Amino acid sequence: MRRFKILHRTYYNFPDMVQLGPHTLRLRPKEGHELRIESSSLNITPAATLRWHNDVEDNSVAIATFDTPTRQLVIASEIIIQQFNEAPLDFLVDAYAANYPFAYEAEDRIVLAPYLLTVTRQASDPLAKWVASLWRAGEPIQTYALLQRLCVHINQSFTYLAREQPGVQTPADTLARGTGSYRDFANLFIEAARHLGLAARFVSGYLYAEPSAANYGSTHAWADVFLPGAGWKGFDPTIGKIVGTDHTAVAVARLPESVPPVAGSFVGPPGASLDVGVWVTELK
């Protein structure tokens, strides 16, 4: 078991007094047999009323509402977690799905249908051509090996580029530019997996890593793929590895734009600025 402290601080500064609308916060990690929350605190200035619920994906969501006008909004989350996923490769895929291609069982496919939807399957699509260069029909390969090939190829073939702008590049944009953020790489991986007929979803969370060009204190994102017998398994194309204890999942969704850590509105003059700080520290 490993323990981590996660500090996530968000600062909105406004040019004049504003009235804040409701803000949706997805900052609490997803608990399960691989992760437990030891302690958590959420401090918001100005004072907010919090209402918690679980959304359709079972993500933990807080809705913050405000009465006091302000020129600054500060959201500070501090969480200590216990991570137990120290052997991420210790899983078994059901025999029928161990080798690619395979077809999900009918009952599973009903539940997985939203995660199988892809933008296009036309042979002329850039994504289709790119996927065809990674696996050709008839090539014998294990399902996990194909996914890991895709994960490593994105890591080795594209240049990481931090982007502060909201939104996610389309797979075609990422392929054309040869660059992308962690969100873009996750989205490319997801669309490629779906093109191969594999159920995939977007995961927003945190990564413990030494500061580098690809990690200087920010949120992180990767992809989950459903493997029968093993469940949802994470692949991080930004670093080219399967997801383990260094990763802390906060929210999952069919679409990347559905799970921003903080989303809200305000009434007042335009020109707000945003600063975000994230620190993930291992505790002994």
| 41-72 pLDDT tens trace | 999 999 999 999 999 999 999 999 999 999 99
Share of the chain above pLDDT 70, in %: 95
Tokens 């994230």: give the residue.
Answer: 278
Q: Averaged over 220-240, what is the pLDDT?
A: 97
Q: Averaged over 242-261, what is the pLDDT?
A: 95
User: Alpha carbon 183 to chain centroid distance?
Assistant: 7
* Mean pLDDT score across all residues of the chain: 93
Tokens 């949802």: give the residue.
Answer: 232
Pick the CATH number of 95-244 from 3.40.50.720, 3.30.300.100, 2.40.10.10, 3.10.620.30: 3.10.620.30
**Spatial CA neighbour of 204 closest among 278, 151, 113:** 278
- Comparing 126 with 222, the larger pLDDT belongs to 222
Fold of 2-84+260-283: Immunoglobulin-like (2.60.40)
**Spatial CA neighbour of 67 closest among 25, 21, 12:** 21
Three-class SS state of 92: coil
Structure tokens, 165: 């702008």
Instruction: Using the CB atoms, write b or e for 189-208: b if 16+ within 10 Å.
Output: bbbbbbbbebbbbbbbbbbb
**What does DSSP assign to residue 163?**
-
For residue 32, the model assigns a pLDDT of 93
Using pLDDT thresholds of 50, 70 and 90, give the confidence band for residue 209.
Answer: confident
Structure tokens, 82: 């216990």
Structure tokens, 1: 């078991």
Question: Domain residue spans in the chain?
Answer: 2-84+260-283, 95-244
For residue 123, the model assigns a pLDDT of 58
Distance CA 81, CA 2 (A): 8
Using pLDDT thresholds of 50, 70 and 90, give the confidence band for residue 166.
Answer: confident
**What does DSSP assign to residue 188?**
H
Structure tokens, 247: 């990763």
The pTM of this model reads 0.93
